[in-house]
Chains A and B, each alone.
Chain A
Amino acid sequence: MLNTSHDNSTPILDALDCGIIVLGYQRQVTAWNAWIAAASNIRTTEATGKSMEELFPGRPLGPILVAVNEALEAGASSLLTPTLHPALLGLRTRAGQPLIHSISIRPIGAIGAYECLIQISDVTGAMRREAVLRQRQNARYDAVMESAAEAILTLDDTGAIQGANSAAEVLFEIDKASLAGQPSARLFVEGDRWSQLHDASRSGQQIVHREVSVKRRNGSTRHLEASISRWSGGAKQFTTAFLRDVTDRLSSQLKLKTLNETLEQRVADATGERDMIWRVSQDLFVVTDFGLKCQSVNPAWTEHLGLDESEVEGKAFEDFVHPEDVAAVTRLSLSDSRVVVRDLDLRMRANDGRFIWYSWQFMPRNNQYYAAGRDINVRRNLEDQLRQSQKMEAVGQLTGGIAHDFNNMLGVVISGLNLIQRRVDRGESGVHQLIAAATEGAHKAAMLTQRLLAFSRQQPLSPESLDVGRMVQDMSELLRRTLGEHVTLNTVVQSDDGAVLADPSQLENVLVNLAVNARDAMPQGGTLTIETSALLVDQSVAADHGISPGPYVLIAVRDTGSGMSAEVLERAFEPFFTTKGVGKGTGLGLSQVFGFVKQSGGYVNIDSKLGVGTTISIWLPRHNGPADGARRANSQDVANGKPEELILVVEDEASVRQLTMQMLEDLDYSVISAENGVEGLRILEDRGDVSLLLTDVVMPGMNGREFADAAVELRPDLRVLFTSGYARDAIVRNGIIDPNVQLLQKPATLQALAQKVRLVLDN
């Protein structure tokens, strides 16, 4: 179909694969090619001469008409795209599908006499392809975007939002359409910080897990972790921000943190409590290492023992323990098994030298002992009192038994003396037998009291340096007689076993005692072996046995007798415990041994098996001084005095004073007497010829020691001999007599008196 003014070009126009419409100055169609005729379903003949409004009634022709005006009036060219102007003309493809088209509108002809060319291009294929591609891409993209729990924002370079997912809608409480184009910074509480993050991301920095926050409409704050990365879409740069809501996580972290902080507080409180207990406790607390070196102590040490922390810390625990209790402590420190120790009673040494009983609990933990000591002094004192009263009770019980024996002995003495008296009165002689019997009875009684004293450890000892081996050999004859012919005595003695410092008569007593016991244990006969040897006691053994370490002399007395049962063994050292028949033994033998050995700083042990025999081991500390010559033979000779040797006897007990004077006179000494120290001093002032002062120790008023001191001051050359039956008095220290003091034990035989007086006068 042809337009008259375009005759020549009509075939060309119809052949074009695009729509051509030409409008004349009056906006009427002057050309309409085949393509537009097909697409619009308006034939050329119908279109020609009509306006666009007439041809496309109801279509949104505004933009086209504007463009046509611009073209006709100002020569301007315009482009209308289907993206902004979809289906402008409502065209169809040959298949009847909507035909997507773009339109360009240009002036044609000479300037000032324009016609308007409208060119329509089919972009359906391209648009469809793009749409499919985009749809597919969008589907994937949307799947990711929309399923993400994180809010995702895509921003342009200005920070304006160009894209947002559904999670962002929820987070920001703004729909996507309203989010689009908004400056993103205003969504965040810290807008400036957000802008900085955005700028950093734009400059290529990787923004990962930065904290930002959002205020919600309800006033709550959501904490977000933002990761931002940039990308380019065509010529433009974008950034995409992933915002993860970490409010819940942060609040759990906060809770955890709070919990931790309060935990610290609780621990601090508990620690404070313990610290307070540590400080206010009346019990002694100490932390030591496993060697029992004190690491820290509580203030109770200062309060109760007067020991400052600085005096205790770093020192050995045993330094503050009574020497007799050290053994138990040492056992603990040497033990490999770190066990809980309960109720370990120890005497703790206070700064003023007192000892106070504490009951200790030791708890091993983390290479340390945690120990607490409770003051049990009251309890221990009560226990001591109880023991004492038990002892007194025992003594009371004993008294009955002893009284019986003692009465027997006294009976012998008294009746003997009565008989002697009668015979002497009658002028008869032949009293020797009676005298001998009375004397024996008196000796037995003296022995008994000796043993009692030894048991009570109040027996005064006069230690000398003794060669034990030599003494054993010296005694062997005596012992053989004691043992009888059924028992063989073996002595195994080394010459260099060393000396001990001990009271010789007591040690003799001990050996005789043990020999008698052995003999009684071997009624059918057997062998008694007395062996001496040197022994070196180290620290741990010493601790175990409650003695000091160092060299010892061991005296072992071994029999092949019946042995002891465990129960007997357990009670062997108990005073008055005896397995012997009534009248055969006092039960004081072994306890006397025990008392003596302990008093001498030694140790005694019984090793016994029923039917095999018993070994009693006595350890006595070795003495380095030279041994004092051989023990004087137990001579029956009586050393007499001379009449010119004047002896002053001071004794408050008249009968004893009388008897002593008679004995001394019998020994040819000259004797004068005084009832007490004061009278004695007066006599000494009057008479300058007194050679020896024989004084009792225990006297009312001025005691023997004070009197003797005063007497020696008056007469420096005066010899002094004390006499006492009782050790707990002024001349004795710790049960041991001063080496310079001469003591005669009461009751004394005539021989003992004679020897001692002679000894003192001659020295």
Chain B
Amino acid sequence: MITPADLVLEELERDALTELVNIAVSRAAKNLREMVGRQVFLSVPRINLVGRQQAIDILDEREMDRLVAVHQVFEGDITGRALLIFPEERSLELVRAVAGPDHSLEDIIDLEQEALAETGNIILNSCLATIANLLRRSLRVSLPEVIRGTGTDFFNLAPPPLPGEVVLFLYINFTVKDNDITGYIAMLMDMPSLAVLKGLLCEFIERIGGTDK
């Protein structure tokens, strides 16, 4: 039985993953910029690999209010769920940032669901596609879905989670139209998927290290 402790990413692996993710979000930023027609900055300063409950605790501790998430399922060598999570109260700013200033509040409220879905879609797609691309593996990713609730809700989506699931927890900063919005990207994977990821990361590091050496 493989436990999360056994699967803790080596520092090098973590650095590699962080680099991968930052490449991914910069691609997402480029895509968003194309969509909204203005500068969007995205960065991922930190990555944690945590247990499911730990992820719930982190969210509960850091976020007092309700959360909104864009959810997509990915399948392939690595299987799991990807969630882009925001404090719900910041979501309108995000929507306004991407939808433009000409919308009334009522429009913004109406747009929120779709705009969040598209925005989250772009960010998550970019991340997943970039990771898959760089790891030279293919994934199939579902259409986005907006869900609201708490960390507990997000990490207990049906079908019921399997024991030993881990969460790759990414802290992500958006800067859109002078607004800094801090959110999270959570990639919920089962153990085998994490093992595959770790393997893929090692291959990636070897490739890069190989060229260095």
Would you call B101 and A177 a contact (CB within 8 A)? yes
Cα–Cα, bound, A606→B65 (Å): 111
Contact of A62 among B35, B66, B104, B138 (CB under 8 A): B35
Interface assignment of A479: CB less than 8 Å from any CB of chain B: no
Would you call B65 and A157 a contact (CB within 8 A)? yes
Q: Chain B, 93-127, contact with A by CB distance < 8 Å: what is the 0/1 string? A: 10011110110111111111011011001100110
Closest A residue to B105 using CB positions:
A163
Closest B residue to A75 using CB positions:
B140
Would you call A80 and B118 a contact (CB within 8 A)? yes
B63 to chain A, nearest CB (A): 13
- A and B contact pairs by CB, cutoff 8 A, 6 listed: A74-B129, A75-B129, A77-B141, A78-B121, A156-B89, A157-B65
Q: List, in ascending order, chain A residues with CB within 8 A of B117's CB.
A: 79, 81
Q: Given that A107-B140, A162-B105, A181-B96 are contacting pairs, would A70 and B89 also be in contact in the complex, using a CB cutoff of 8 Å? A: no
Q: List, in ascending order, chain A residues with CB within 8 A of B91's CB.
A: 236
Q: Given that A84-B118, A138-B106, A177-B101 are contacting pairs, would A78 and B125 also be in contact in the complex, using a CB cutoff of 8 Å? A: yes
Interface assignment of B14: CB less than 8 Å from any CB of chain A: no
Would you call B98 and A84 a contact (CB within 8 A)? yes
Q: List, in ascending order, chain A residues with CB within 8 A of B93's CB.
A: 156, 158, 160, 181
Closest B residue to A109 using CB positions:
B140
Interface assignment of A392: CB less than 8 Å from any CB of chain B: no
Interface assignment of B31: CB less than 8 Å from any CB of chain A: yes
Q: Given that A162-B92, A177-B102 are contacting pairs, would A63 and B142 also be in contact in the complex, using a CB cutoff of 8 Å? A: no
Contact of A74 among B96, B97, B112, B133 (CB under 8 A): B133
Would you call A75 and B132 a contact (CB within 8 A)? yes
Interface assignment of B72: CB less than 8 Å from any CB of chain A: yes
Which 9 residue pairs are nearest across A and B when measured between Cβ atoms? A74-B129, A163-B105, A76-B125, A157-B89, A81-B114, A75-B140, A76-B141, A111-B138, A162-B105
Would you call A66 and B31 a contact (CB within 8 A)? yes
Q: Given that A66-B31, A79-B118 are contacting pairs, would A73 and B111 also be in contact in the complex, using a CB cutoff of 8 Å? A: no
Chain B residues numbered 166-193 whose CB sits less than 8 Å from any CB in chain A? 177, 179
A-B contact count (CB 8 A): 131
Cα–Cα, bound, A671→B102 (Å): 149
Chain A contacts to B: CB under 8 angstroms: 62-63, 66-67, 70, 73-81, 83-85, 104, 106-107, 111-112, 114, 130, 134, 137-138, 141, 154, 156-158, 160, 162-163, 177, 180-181, 233-236, 238
Would you call B99 and A83 a contact (CB within 8 A)? yes
Would you call A234 and B138 a contact (CB within 8 A)? no
Cα–Cα, bound, A678→B46 (Å): 144
A275 to chain B, nearest CB (A): 66
Task: Give the one of A70, A76, A79, A180 with max B CB within 10 A.
Answer: A76
Closest B residue to A112 using CB positions:
B138
A131 to chain B, nearest CB (A): 10
Interface assignment of B40: CB less than 8 Å from any CB of chain A: no
Q: List, in ascending order, chain B residues with CB within 8 A of A163's CB.
A: 104-105
By DSSP majority rule, is chain B's interface helix, strand, loop, or mixed?
helix
Cα–Cα, bound, A154→B96 (Å): 14
Q: Given that A154-B105, A180-B101 are contacting pairs, would A78 and B122 also be in contact in the complex, using a CB cutoff of 8 Å? A: yes
Closest B residue to A114 using CB positions:
B138
Would you call B106 and A104 a contact (CB within 8 A)? no
Would you call A134 and B129 a contact (CB within 8 A)? no
Would you call B142 and A134 a contact (CB within 8 A)? no
Task: Give the one of A74, A157, A177 with max B CB within 10 A.
Answer: A74
Interface assignment of B34: CB less than 8 Å from any CB of chain A: yes
Cα–Cα, bound, A75→B102 (Å): 34
Q: Chain B, 128-158, contact with A by CB distance < 8 Å: what is the 0/1 string? A: 1110110000111111100010000000000
Q: Can you name 4 extra interface pairs (CB under 8 A) apart from A162-B108, A236-B92? A: A73-B129, A81-B114, A111-B138, A177-B101
A404 to chain B, nearest CB (A): 127
B86 to chain A, nearest CB (A): 12
Q: List, in ascending order, chain A residues with CB within 8 A of B148's CB.
A: 235
Would you call A134 and B133 a contact (CB within 8 A)? no
B148 to chain A, nearest CB (A): 6
Would you call A75 and B138 a contact (CB within 8 A)? yes
Would you call A134 and B109 a contact (CB within 8 A)? no
Closest A residue to B117 using CB positions:
A79
Closest A residue to B148 using CB positions:
A235
Interface assignment of B88: CB less than 8 Å from any CB of chain A: yes
Cα–Cα, bound, A621→B5 (Å): 134
Cα–Cα, bound, A57→B99 (Å): 25
Contact of A77 among B35, B72, B138 (CB under 8 A): B72
Would you call B89 and A104 a contact (CB within 8 A)? no
Would you call B110 and A134 a contact (CB within 8 A)? yes
Would you call A74 and B132 a contact (CB within 8 A)? yes
Q: List, in ascending order, chain B residues with CB within 8 A of A181's CB.
A: 93, 96-97, 101, 177, 179
Q: List, in ascending order, chain B residues with CB within 8 A of A158's CB.
A: 89-90, 93
Would you call A130 and B88 a contact (CB within 8 A)? no
Cα–Cα, bound, A94→B115 (Å): 29
Would you call A77 and B115 a contact (CB within 8 A)? no
Q: Given that A84-B98, A157-B89, A181-B96 are contacting pairs, would A74 and B141 also be in contact in the complex, using a CB cutoff of 8 Å? A: yes
Interface assignment of B161: CB less than 8 Å from any CB of chain A: no
Chain B residues numbered 29-86 whose CB sits less than 8 Å from any CB in chain A? 31, 34-35, 65-66, 68, 72, 76
Q: List, in ascending order, chain B residues with CB within 8 A of A112's CB.
A: 138
B192 to chain A, nearest CB (A): 16
Q: List, in ascending order, chain B residues with CB within 8 A of A107's CB.
A: 140
Q: List, in ascending order, chain B residues with CB within 8 A of A106's CB.
A: 143
Task: Give the one of B35, B98, B133 with max A CB within 10 A.
Answer: B35
